[in-house]
Amino acid sequence: MDGRAARIDALFAETIRAHEVSRAMAAGPILEAVDALLATFGRNGKALIFGNGGSAADALHFAAELVGRFERERRGLAAVALPADTSVLTSVANDYGFERVFARQVEALGSAGDVAIGITTSGASPNVLAALVAARSGGMATIAFTGRDGGAVGRAVDVHVNVPHASAARVQEVHRTLIHAVCELVEAAV
Protein backbone atom coordinates (compact mmCIF):
# COMPACT_ATOMS: atom_id res chain seq x y z
CA MET A 1 0.00 0.00 0.00
CA ASP A 2 1.50 3.33 -1.00
CA GLY A 3 1.41 6.34 1.33
CA ARG A 4 -1.74 7.85 -0.18
CA ALA A 5 -3.66 4.59 0.05
CA ALA A 6 -2.50 4.20 3.65
CA ARG A 7 -3.77 7.73 4.39
CA ILE A 8 -7.17 6.86 2.92
CA ASP A 9 -7.29 3.78 5.13
CA ALA A 10 -6.31 5.88 8.16
CA LEU A 11 -9.06 8.41 7.38
CA PHE A 12 -11.66 5.66 7.31
CA ALA A 13 -10.35 4.27 10.59
CA GLU A 14 -10.45 7.72 12.23
CA THR A 15 -13.99 8.36 10.98
CA ILE A 16 -15.14 4.97 12.25
CA ARG A 17 -13.60 5.72 15.67
CA ALA A 18 -15.35 9.11 15.79
CA HIS A 19 -18.64 7.42 14.93
CA GLU A 20 -18.11 4.72 17.57
CA VAL A 21 -17.37 7.24 20.34
CA SER A 22 -20.40 9.31 19.36
CA ARG A 23 -22.59 6.23 19.02
CA ALA A 24 -22.02 5.40 22.68
CA MET A 25 -23.49 8.74 23.79
CA ALA A 26 -25.86 9.75 20.97
CA ALA A 27 -29.18 8.08 21.80
CA GLY A 28 -30.25 10.39 24.63
CA PRO A 29 -29.55 13.73 22.92
CA ILE A 30 -30.86 12.51 19.55
CA LEU A 31 -34.14 11.39 21.10
CA GLU A 32 -34.43 14.74 22.90
CA ALA A 33 -33.85 16.57 19.61
CA VAL A 34 -36.46 14.41 17.86
CA ASP A 35 -38.98 15.08 20.64
CA ALA A 36 -38.34 18.84 20.47
CA LEU A 37 -38.85 18.84 16.70
CA LEU A 38 -41.99 16.70 16.91
CA ALA A 39 -43.44 19.03 19.55
CA THR A 40 -42.70 22.02 17.32
CA PHE A 41 -44.12 20.44 14.18
CA GLY A 42 -47.15 19.24 16.15
CA ARG A 43 -47.91 22.91 16.91
CA ASN A 44 -47.35 23.87 13.25
CA GLY A 45 -44.12 25.54 14.30
CA LYS A 46 -40.86 25.61 12.41
CA ALA A 47 -37.19 24.75 12.73
CA LEU A 48 -34.60 27.45 12.12
CA ILE A 49 -31.25 25.83 11.30
CA PHE A 50 -27.87 27.56 10.97
CA GLY A 51 -24.11 27.20 10.97
CA ASN A 52 -20.99 28.45 9.17
CA GLY A 53 -19.00 26.91 6.31
CA GLY A 54 -19.49 23.15 6.17
CA SER A 55 -22.01 23.46 8.98
CA ALA A 56 -23.96 25.93 6.82
CA ALA A 57 -24.09 23.22 4.16
CA ASP A 58 -25.30 20.77 6.83
CA ALA A 59 -28.00 23.28 7.85
CA LEU A 60 -29.22 23.45 4.25
CA HIS A 61 -29.17 19.66 3.98
CA PHE A 62 -31.05 19.26 7.28
CA ALA A 63 -33.75 21.74 6.24
CA ALA A 64 -34.11 20.09 2.83
CA GLU A 65 -34.67 16.67 4.40
CA LEU A 66 -37.43 18.11 6.61
CA VAL A 67 -39.18 20.27 4.01
CA GLY A 68 -38.93 17.68 1.24
CA ARG A 69 -38.60 14.17 2.49
CA PHE A 70 -35.94 11.93 3.93
CA GLU A 71 -36.84 8.40 2.81
CA ARG A 72 -40.60 8.28 2.48
CA GLU A 73 -43.53 10.38 1.37
CA ARG A 74 -45.10 12.49 4.10
CA ARG A 75 -46.27 16.05 4.68
CA GLY A 76 -43.66 18.74 4.41
CA LEU A 77 -42.24 20.04 7.69
CA ALA A 78 -41.48 23.72 8.17
CA ALA A 79 -37.73 24.24 8.28
CA VAL A 80 -35.63 27.21 7.21
CA ALA A 81 -31.87 27.14 6.64
CA LEU A 82 -30.73 30.60 7.73
CA PRO A 83 -27.43 30.56 5.78
CA ALA A 84 -29.34 30.23 2.48
CA ASP A 85 -30.30 33.87 1.92
CA THR A 86 -27.17 35.75 0.86
CA SER A 87 -28.97 39.10 0.68
CA VAL A 88 -30.06 38.83 4.30
CA LEU A 89 -26.67 37.51 5.42
CA THR A 90 -24.72 40.29 3.76
CA SER A 91 -27.07 43.10 4.74
CA VAL A 92 -27.15 42.03 8.39
CA ALA A 93 -23.37 41.48 8.42
CA ASN A 94 -22.87 44.94 6.90
CA ASP A 95 -25.31 46.75 9.20
CA TYR A 96 -24.90 44.83 12.47
CA GLY A 97 -21.75 42.71 12.17
CA PHE A 98 -21.22 39.06 11.28
CA GLU A 99 -21.98 37.97 14.86
CA ARG A 100 -25.63 38.98 14.30
CA VAL A 101 -26.29 37.27 10.92
CA PHE A 102 -28.27 34.40 12.47
CA ALA A 103 -29.60 36.13 15.60
CA ARG A 104 -31.31 38.81 13.54
CA GLN A 105 -33.03 36.15 11.42
CA VAL A 106 -34.09 34.22 14.53
CA GLU A 107 -35.62 37.43 15.91
CA ALA A 108 -37.40 38.13 12.62
CA LEU A 109 -38.56 34.62 11.67
CA GLY A 110 -38.83 32.75 14.96
CA SER A 111 -41.81 32.47 17.28
CA ALA A 112 -42.26 31.03 20.75
CA GLY A 113 -42.58 27.28 20.39
CA ASP A 114 -40.30 27.04 17.35
CA VAL A 115 -36.95 25.27 17.57
CA ALA A 116 -33.55 26.78 16.74
CA ILE A 117 -30.78 24.38 15.72
CA GLY A 118 -27.19 25.60 15.68
CA ILE A 119 -24.42 23.55 14.11
CA THR A 120 -20.77 24.26 14.96
CA THR A 121 -17.80 21.90 14.84
CA SER A 122 -15.92 23.96 17.43
CA GLY A 123 -18.77 24.82 19.78
CA ALA A 124 -17.35 28.34 19.81
CA SER A 125 -18.96 30.15 16.85
CA PRO A 126 -20.04 33.57 18.19
CA ASN A 127 -22.84 34.00 15.61
CA VAL A 128 -24.29 30.56 16.36
CA LEU A 129 -24.18 31.29 20.09
CA ALA A 130 -25.83 34.70 19.61
CA ALA A 131 -28.65 33.13 17.59
CA LEU A 132 -29.27 30.45 20.20
CA VAL A 133 -29.37 33.10 22.96
CA ALA A 134 -31.86 35.10 20.87
CA ALA A 135 -33.94 31.96 20.31
CA ARG A 136 -34.07 31.18 23.99
CA SER A 137 -35.08 34.78 24.75
CA GLY A 138 -37.88 34.37 22.20
CA GLY A 139 -39.29 31.24 23.84
CA MET A 140 -37.87 28.77 21.35
CA ALA A 141 -36.38 25.37 22.11
CA THR A 142 -32.66 25.25 21.37
CA ILE A 143 -30.56 22.40 20.00
CA ALA A 144 -26.86 22.38 19.14
CA PHE A 145 -24.77 19.93 17.17
CA THR A 146 -21.17 20.55 18.27
CA GLY A 147 -17.67 19.12 18.23
CA ARG A 148 -14.74 19.13 20.65
CA ASP A 149 -16.14 19.63 24.17
CA GLY A 150 -19.19 21.57 22.94
CA GLY A 151 -17.88 24.90 24.17
CA ALA A 152 -20.11 27.84 25.03
CA VAL A 153 -22.67 26.75 22.43
CA GLY A 154 -23.13 23.34 24.03
CA ARG A 155 -23.59 24.90 27.44
CA ALA A 156 -26.21 27.38 26.16
CA VAL A 157 -28.82 24.99 24.75
CA ASP A 158 -31.65 22.75 25.86
CA VAL A 159 -30.38 19.76 23.84
CA HIS A 160 -26.69 19.23 23.17
CA VAL A 161 -25.63 16.67 20.54
CA ASN A 162 -21.84 16.49 20.82
CA VAL A 163 -19.16 14.76 18.75
CA PRO A 164 -16.12 14.78 21.04
CA HIS A 165 -13.44 15.07 18.35
CA ALA A 166 -11.01 17.88 17.51
CA SER A 167 -11.06 17.48 13.71
CA ALA A 168 -13.75 19.58 12.02
CA ALA A 169 -13.85 17.09 9.13
CA ARG A 170 -14.50 14.10 11.42
CA VAL A 171 -17.10 16.07 13.38
CA GLN A 172 -18.91 17.02 10.16
CA GLU A 173 -18.96 13.38 9.05
CA VAL A 174 -20.57 12.30 12.30
CA HIS A 175 -22.92 15.30 12.30
CA ARG A 176 -24.27 14.10 8.95
CA THR A 177 -25.01 10.66 10.46
CA LEU A 178 -26.67 12.23 13.50
CA ILE A 179 -28.75 14.58 11.35
CA HIS A 180 -29.90 11.60 9.29
CA ALA A 181 -30.86 9.78 12.50
CA VAL A 182 -32.98 12.76 13.58
CA CYS A 183 -34.63 12.98 10.16
CA GLU A 184 -35.41 9.27 10.08
CA LEU A 185 -36.99 9.29 13.53
CA VAL A 186 -38.96 12.49 12.92
CA GLU A 187 -40.22 11.16 9.61
CA ALA A 188 -41.30 7.88 11.20
CA ALA A 189 -43.42 9.79 13.73
CA VAL A 190 -45.26 12.32 11.53
- CA 130/CA 99 separation, integer angstroms: 7
Q: What is the mean pLDDT of the chain?
A: 97
CA–CA dist 100, 123 (Å, integer): 17
Helix (H) or strand (E) holding 144: strand 141-147
108 confidence band (pLDDT: 50, 70, 90): very high
Residue 35 above 90 pLDDT? yes
Task: Flag whether pLDDT at 173 surpasses 90.
Answer: yes
- The rounded percent of the chain whose pLDDT value lies above 90 is 98
Residue range 1-26: average pLDDT? 93
pTM of the model: 0.96
* Nearest Cα residue to 139 out of 72, 56, 39, 70: 39
**pLDDT at 132 (0 to 100):** 98
Helices 168-189 and 54-67, axial angle in degrees (round to 10): 10
pLDDT of residue 2: 85
Supply angle C-alpha 169, 174, 180, rounded to 5.
130
pLDDT tens column, 57-74: 999 999 999 999 999 999
What's the CA gap between 160 and 143, in Å, rounded? 6
